[in-house]
Chain A
Amino acid sequence: MTNTPTTTTTLKLVAVSAGLSVPSSSRLLADRLGDAVRSTLAGEAKDVEVRVVELRELAVPIANHLVTGFPSPDLGEAIEAVVEADGLIVVTPVFAASYSGLFKSFFDLIEPDALTGKPVLIGATGGTARHSLVLEHALRPLFAYLRAVVAPTAVFAASEDWGGTGDALTDTLPTRISRAGEQFARLLETTERRPADEVPVLSFP
C-alpha cells in the first residue's frame, strides 16, 4: 500500500546566475542547487520547475534600464519571472570581496518590496574558500534588506570544491548542496504567497 497523493503541484523556481564565463561555475552551482531542491521534493509528489536567468545575457539591458528607468522586453520578462517565482536560487561570483556589480545591478532594478517573504537560497563561487564569508556579509544582508527569507545554509563553491580527494570528510560540496536543498525545500513549503493589491487604499479629506 502506498499513500502517495494523486495530485502533483508544481513549484516554480527561478535560478539567477551572475557567472560571466560560458560555462560558468556559478551556473554549475545554481544547477546543482536546483537539482537538490528537486530531489528533496520529488518524494512528496511536488514537481519543481527551475527557470535559469543568466545575467550575462542581460548585461546591456540591465545597464540600459539603469539609464532609462524601464526594462527592455527580455529584461522585463526576467524581472517578472523573479518577482512571480515561488522561490529564488541566486548565485554570484565573488568580485572584489563582494557580489559582482552585475548581480547587484540586477537586484537594484527590482522594486524594493517585490521580494518580501520570498524564499531565497544564496550561493557564491570564487577561486578560493577564503571568500566564502561573502555569503554572510554581502548576500544575506542584501536579501534581508529586500525582506526575503534566506535559507540558513548558503553554499560557497571554491575552485577546489569541483575536484576532490574521494574523502567524504574533506569533499564537502555535495553535502552542503544537499543540506541547502533540503532546508530550502522546507522553506518553500512553509511560505505563503500573498496576492498584490491592485487598487490602492486611500482616504480623501
Chain B
Amino acid sequence: MQFGIFTVGDVTTDPTNGRTPSEHERIKATVAIAQKAEEVGLDVFATGEHHNPPFVPSSPTTLLGHIAARTENLILSTSTTLITTNDPVKIAEDYAYLQHLADGRVDLMMGRGNTGPVYPWFGQDIRQGIPLAIENYALLHKLWRQDVVDWEGKFRTPLQSFTSTPRPLDGVPPFVWHGSIRSPEIAEQAAYYGDGFFHNNIFWPMSHTKKMVALYRKRYAHYGHGTPEQAIVGLGGQVFMRKNSQDAINEFRPYFDNAPVYGHGPSLEEFSEQTPLTVGSPQQVIERTLSFRDAVGDYQRQLFLMDHAGLPLKTVLEQLDILGEEVVPVLRKEFANLRPAGVPESAPLHPAVTAARTKEARR
C-alpha cells in the first residue's frame, strides 16, 4: 500500500498569530514538505492545481519537476490535474516530460475542479464539465498510447498527424487516477479505462465514500479489468497528532475553527465524528485509518492532508515525522496482513521504478 500526502497549496493566515505567509514562503514550504515526506519514508507527494488566490499551485509540473530533482524515491502525483480546463495535449506533453525527468516516478489524478470561474477564464463552459472530462481524457489516453494521432472532438481544435513529444518513458504512460467526490460519471469513467479511482473523502461521511467506491468496483469488473476487489482505490485523510490526544485537539482547534473549507460550521468534535478527520494520538489515527478498509475494502493508496488552514511549516514537518515514524509503519504492516492474495498492493508502478527498486534491493 502506498502512503503519502496531498496539498491544496492554500496561503492561509495562521489564526493563532495572524501571520500570513507570502506566496514565495508557501511555495518554498511546499518543497520542504515534499522533501520531508521522502525523508520520513512516505511514498507519494501530490499537489493540487488552482488558478485563483489564495492558492499558489497553478503550475504543478514546475513544482513536481523541481521536487523530482531533490528526491530519489518519492512518487510525484497530482490532486488533481484539471482535465476540463487544461488542454489535454499540453497535459500529455508536460507529464510525459516530467516522467522522463523523474525516471518514471510520476502518476496523476484527473479532476474537474470546483471553482466555477476557472472554466470561463480558460475559455470553457462549466455546464460541459462532465463531457469535457470524458472527451479530454479520451484524447489524453490516446496521445500517450498512439504515436501519430488524428483527432476530432467537440471541444478542441482537430489534430491531423500529431505526435505528442516526448513519448512516455519506455512507452509506458503514467498511471492515472480519476478523482471525484460526488459524480458517479467519474467513477464510471475510471472503471471503463481500468484506471484508479480516488475518493477524496475528507469532507464527507464514510457512508457516501462507500457508495461511490462500490459503484466503481462493480463497474471495473463489468468492463473486464478484474474482480471488484482488484480495482485500484485511493482515499484521502486528514489528521493532526500529538502524543497526548487532548494536546492535539487543543492545538488544532483554532486552525479547525477558522479553516477556509469548513470553519465556522460544526464543532471539531462533530466534524471528527462525521468525516475521516482524526485529531488525537498516533494510535487513534492508526485505528481510524484501518477502519476505512471496513468501508471500502482493501485499497491501494492513502493520502493525508497535512499542510492547510494556516498551520506553520514547523508544525507540518513535526506532523510528518509522527506520520512517517509512528503511524505509517504500523499501517503498512496491518494493511499487508489483512490484504488477501490477488489484490494489488499498490497502484501500478512504472517499470523503470520497479527496476530501480529491484536493483537497489539487490545491493
Residues of A within 8 A of B (CB): 63-64, 66-70, 72-73, 76, 198-200, 202, 204-205
Contact = CB atoms under 8 A, between A and B. Distances in A.
Given A69-B203, A72-B274, A199-B184, A205 B135 contact: yes
18 contacts: A66-B265, A67-B264, A67-B266, A68-B266, A70-B203, A70-B208, A70-B274, A72-B274, A198-B184, A199-B215, A200-B184, A200-B185, A202-B185, A202-B188, A204-B134, A204-B138, A204-B192, A205-B153
Interface residues of B, number: 27
Interface of B: 134-135, 138-139, 153, 184-185, 188-189, 192-193, 203-205, 208, 215, 219, 261-266, 270-271, 274-275
Report the 6 A-B pairs with minimum CB-CB distance, sorted nearest first. Answer: A67-B265, A205-B138, A64-B266, A64-B265, A200-B185, A68-B262
A166 B193 CA distance: 73
Contact of B270 (A63, A72, A198, A205): A72
Contacts of A205: 134-135, 138-139, 153
Nearest to A66: B265
Nearest to B274: A72
Nearest to A67: B265
Contacts of A69: 203
Contacts of A202: 134, 185, 188-189, 192
B265 A63 contact: yes
A66 B263 CA distance: 11
A114 B153 CA distance: 32
A69 B271 CA distance: 12
Contacts of B263: 67
Contacts of A76: 205
A196 to B, nearest CB: 10
Nearest to B265: A67
Nearest to A63: B265
Quick one: which of A66, A72, A202 has the most chain B CB within 10 A?
A: A202
A111 B274 CA distance: 20
Contact of B215 (A66, A70, A198): A198
B113 to A, nearest CB: 15
A63 B193 CA distance: 39
A64 B203 CA distance: 12
Nearest to B142: A205
Contacts of A199: 184, 188, 215, 219
Contacts of A63: 265
A199 B265 CA distance: 33
A63 B267 CA distance: 12
B189 A72 contact: no
Given A67-B266, A68-B262, 11 more contacts: A67-B265, A68-B261, A70-B203, A70-B205, A72-B266, A199-B215, A199-B219, A200-B185, A202-B188, A202-B192, A204-B189
Nearest to B139: A205
Quick one: which of B184, B193, B263 has the most chain A CB within 10 A?
A: B184
A191 B274 CA distance: 36
A54 B265 CA distance: 21
Contact of A68 (B208, B215, B271): B271
B159 to A, nearest CB: 13
Contacts of B271: 68
Nearest to B266: A64
A68 B135 CA distance: 31
Nearest to A205: B138
Quick one: which of B134, B192, B265, B270 has the most chain A CB within 10 A?
A: B265
Given A200-B184, A204-B134, A73 B274 contact: yes
A204 B208 CA distance: 26
